Structures are given as structure tokens and as C-alpha cells.
A and B are shown apart, each in its own frame.
Chain A
């Protein structure tokens, strides 16, 4: 259903300067949730890399989180549906690989939303020790506080959780298992 507000936006699309149309598109994309982590939008997740207008068409650059992420196609469909709903049916989606996505691009407010959703947010990748050889995970020494009770007494259960982008932990204080969004 197209609301009055959306119709107004569609009108704006036809008449205003491109710069504000780009802003309208960014705002619209900010309401598209990540299908696997619906607590955050695809903009907050940092996977929308650019918005441009070219020859009356909207061009959106999207980068995948992980190479095999099964949500990639679904995200593209959701972007098209969202923009069509505000009167922008002519959308080109460009998949951009470089530079590769990192969780450091995640918006600061997204981390609070993840915690409230029960997912421990990722630590910063920048500054993480990167050894030339192979370092087993248990040497990483990262403390992942429990998103429910904030206890630092947590334990890695498995390097992967419900999706490729998460690991599985358990809190030794409140005994709840939880997902940790891996720094990537």
C-alpha cells in the first residue's frame, strides 16, 4: 500500500534536485531490515556502499557480507520493493566486492540494537592481532560480554552460529547461549 507520505516522496522524486533525491533513497534504504538480523537495517550493517542517479534510474552499490551469504539475492529484492513503494521502480543494483565488507563499517547505533536483540556486537577488527601464520581461535583472548546479563564470563561453543556471520557462545553466569557477531 502506498501511503500519502510515500506519494509525496514520489512527487519529490520527479521534481527536486538529485542531491535530495539521493537522500530520500538513503532514508528509504535505512528502513530495509537485514533479513537474517532484522534488528538492524542494511544501511546500519554497512553493506550499502553508494547511491547515485544515472539517466533517471537509481543506481545502488551493495556489497555482500560473506561470499556465500544466502541473503544477498533477498536483500536485492527487498531494496527493489522498498524503492518501488515510494515511486522509484527503475533501480539498478550493482554488486561491489572491493573493498571487502568489514564489521567496522557497522553503525555505532547498530551495535546497541544488536545487544538489545540478544546478539553480542562485533569487536573492532582494526587493531586485532594478525599473525602471518595460523593462530587457533582459542589464542585470541577476546572477552565477549553476555548481551543479556553483561557478564564477561562467557565461553565459545562453536566458531559458527545461526548464520555465517556469527559465532556461538554461552554465558557461564546466566547460562544462556547467544550469538556473537564475528569481527570480520
Chain B
């Protein structure tokens, strides 16, 4: 049988076995290796993706459960189109991670970014406690989480500043620098 899913905005068809892990479909069938495997049993969150906006561990989700759904992976977070060969432009959360030092070895980073995006999309106030809760399913062994929390808070603040400075963030700059 053929499964249809939308991955990072692109309609995709696959006839892989229905019980194949979404993680393997992404990494091996679609070549989206940004999503990582850390434990294969839903403990580490390195394989975190969004399914219809919900944060899931793609190592625990069989393909048959995402038929007709929308999947977002780290590859979908880059701003704008990615011409072949060119380095993708960083999205706002990625930029915040880079500035604050939220990525060290980088292996938890794709999953952490996805969890962070879901948090930003929720519109919740970026308190320390709320951010910790939002990334509690994603293990990081390098950072002590401090700079990851800082990065998500920074991205949330910038988002608020942007929307506060005018209804359309891409229009003329706000009144005060």
C-alpha cells in the first residue's frame, strides 16, 4: 500500500512497510538525516519531529500512523528556499542557538530545535519553567541545558518584539531601535 505524507511542505508518497519506523523512512528512504537516533526507545528525543504540529519521537511512530499527516523535521526550519549546494539560511530559533551556544556536539540539536519550535508556536510565555517543561523529553549531555533554555527564550523574545513592532514583521522597521 502507498502512504501519503507531507514532509517539510513537500507532498511525499512511499510504499515502505507500514510498520517501518517514521525515523527510518525519514533518514533512509527520504535522505533526511538531520533527524537522529539516540536510543530507539523514546527516551532521548534525538529523533523528535512534528506530526501535525505535535512533538513526537519518530523512533516510536510507525509509518502507517502518519498516513495523510504533515511532518516537520529540522530540515524544514531553515528560512527561505535552499538552492542546491548552498548553505541553508538559519531560521530565528537556529540563529538564537548559534548565538547563545545552545548547540555543542549537535546530536541532540535537531530534536531540541523541533521541541523549541513547538514551544514557540504554542505562544506560551517563555519562562524558565515553561521552557524546561517543553524540552523535558529531549536529553542533552553537553550543555547542562542552560544555553538551550537561553536560546529558546531569546527566540521567543525576538518573536514578541517583532510582532509588537508592527502587525507585519516584514514591513518598515519599528519606531524605536
On whether the two chains bind one another, the answer is no
Binding site for B on A (CB under 8 A): none
- B interface residue numbers (CB < 8 A to A): none
